[in-house]
Homo-oligomer: A and B are copies of this chain.
Amino acid sequence: MASRRVTVYDVAERAGVSIATVSFAFRRPSEVRERTREAVYAAARELGYVPSGSARGLAAGQTGTLGLHAFDLLIDRALEADAPAASPASTLDLTESAIPWERLDEEAVADPRAFPLYVDEIQRGFELECRRLGRPVLLSRSSDAVADVTETAGRVDGLAVFTSDPSAAAVAALTQVSKALPVVLFSLPPDADDTHHRILVDNRGGMAALVDHLVAVHGATGLEFIGGLTAADYGERFAAMREALLAQGLPAPDAPLDQSPLGRGRALEALRERIGERRLPRALVCASDQLALAVMDLLQAAGLRVPEDVIVTGFDGVLAGRLSRPTLTTVRQPMEAMGRLAARLLYEETLAPSPAPRTFRLGTRLYPRASCGCPET
């Protein structure tokens, strides 16, 4: 490592040319005489010249990178929240060079309940598309610290934001950021005076398909909902469930059976109580797969069988739902496509901004599996 940063000036001096020539040699090689060019390259190699992205970005007026910012997810990230943010690898004494397995305390096996989650699959789609577009990705996460979003926004040409249930402060920060660069939000329905682009999924259609399936195929009628309503997606799902039930002339609950967020402390308190009283509906329709898996754990721990005693369904279509026993009936979101679409949209907006914010709603699809009584797949 050079003590001081190597700049064009150093390279120019070494190669016996001016800084303009150095810059040209890299940016438009064809317009520089070959001998000069090679001299510049040699000097750069010897000195270990790495052009400063900051300086380039400043001069160019853009960074060339797209960002993905995730606010801490109160709900879907619950499992992560339970685990300490630090791991043994975070605190290891780095003076030793051989570190035995035991000291790493690595999970015995990869745990699909922790990774990949919903947000991870979206992120993957975002990364894949950015790579296709030849743009690096800047990832950042924060626990709703508003400063972080702005900070991230300052380093990218376009920003995708993942946040269920954003705070008022976060909304304000995003509105401000949207004035400076294209911002696309996942899974948050548009407000009145909206300035962001949006990528949503068809919660309504997915939930309707699910309810219809439960009623028509399994003859289930007593359906209850699990999940808080402050998260926008969840609210849409609950409303859609009610709508679908009422459309069939069936009774629909006025409120979710349990709204407690997953995560720290004793979650699903209301449900636990109902389990204790053995006062359960025929089917528990959960707002997400993560919730559904937690619900199945609770039920099975109480000696109840899924789906014989209680049907449980999820929403999202994460990998973990395929690996649970029973496998989880769910409505799958096109997560990779959501991430890819976000990247594409931002890319296009940076090239040619559209006058008004754009909203996309992507299709969903029902995957009946064993937790509703369908055969394992």
Interface on A for B, CB 8 Å cutoff?
A: 1-2, 5-6, 44-45, 47-58, 61, 63, 65, 85-90, 92, 94, 97-104, 106-110, 112, 115-116, 120-121, 124-125, 127-129, 131-132, 136-141, 150-156, 172, 176-182, 202, 317-319, 322-323, 332, 334-338, 340-341, 344-345, 348, 353, 358-365, 367
Asked whether B317 lies within 8 Å of A6 as measured between CB atoms, the reply is: no
B110 touching A317, Cβ below 8 Å: yes
Question: A337–B104 contact, CB under 8 A?
Answer: yes
- Partner of A54 from B54, B103, B332, B344 at Cβ < 8 Å: B54
Query: B58 near A54 (CB under 8 angstroms)?
Result: yes
- Contact between chains at B140 and A179 (CB < 8 Å): no
A-B contact pairs, 9 of them (CB 8 A): A48-B179, A52-B154, A53-B54, A55-B58, A87-B128, A89-B336, A98-B360, A101-B363, A102-B363
Q: Are A109 and B332 in contact (CB under 8 A)?
A: yes
- Please tell me if the beta carbons of A345 and B94 are within 8 angstroms of each other in the complex: yes
CA distance A51 to B50 in the complex (A): 24
Other 13 A-B pairs with CB < 8 A, given A94-B345, A99-B363, A106-B337? A48-B178, A50-B150, A53-B155, A89-B337, A89-B344, A97-B358, A101-B334, A104-B363, A109-B319, A109-B367, A112-B319, A116-B120, A120-B124
Whole-angstrom distance between the alpha carbons of A265 and B204 in the complex? 43
CA distance A61 to B2 in the complex (A): 13
Main secondary structure of the interface of A (DSSP, over half): mixed
Nearest chain B residue, comparing its CB with the CB of A100: B363
Are the CB atoms of A6 and B97 closer together than 8 Å? no
Q: Is the CB of A360 within 8 A of B99?
A: yes
Number of copies: 2
Complex contact B121–A110 (CB within 8 A): yes
Kindly report which residue of chain B lies nearest to residue A330, judged by CB atoms: B109
Interface centre among A51, A177, A337 (most CB of B within 10 A): A337
Chain B contacts for A49, CB-based, 8 A: 176, 180
Residues of B within 8 Å of A56, CB to CB, are 54, 154
Q: Which B residues lie within 8 Å of A178 (CB)?
A: 1, 48
Smallest distance from the beta carbon of A139 to chain B beta carbons, Å? Answer: 4
Would A51 and B100 count as touching, CB distance under 8 A?
no
Question: Please, which residues of chain B bring their CB within 8 A of the CB of A120?
Answer: 116, 124
Contact A322 B110 (CB under 8 A): yes
| Closest Cβ–Cβ distance, residue A248 to chain B (whole Å) | 23
CA distance A154 to B53 in the complex (A): 5
Q: How far is the CB of A90 from chain B (nearest CB, A)?
A: 6
CA distance A156 to B51 in the complex (A): 11
- The answer to whether residues A94 and B344 also contact, given A51-B150, A136-B139, A363-B102 and a CB cut-off of 8 A, is yes
A334→B98 CA distance, assembly (Å): 13
The answer to whether A136 and B128 have CB atoms under 8 Å apart is no
Contacts of A121 in B (CB 8 A): 110, 115
A150 surroundings in chain B (CB, below 8 A): 50-51
Distance between Cα atoms of A182 and B2 in the complex (Å): 10
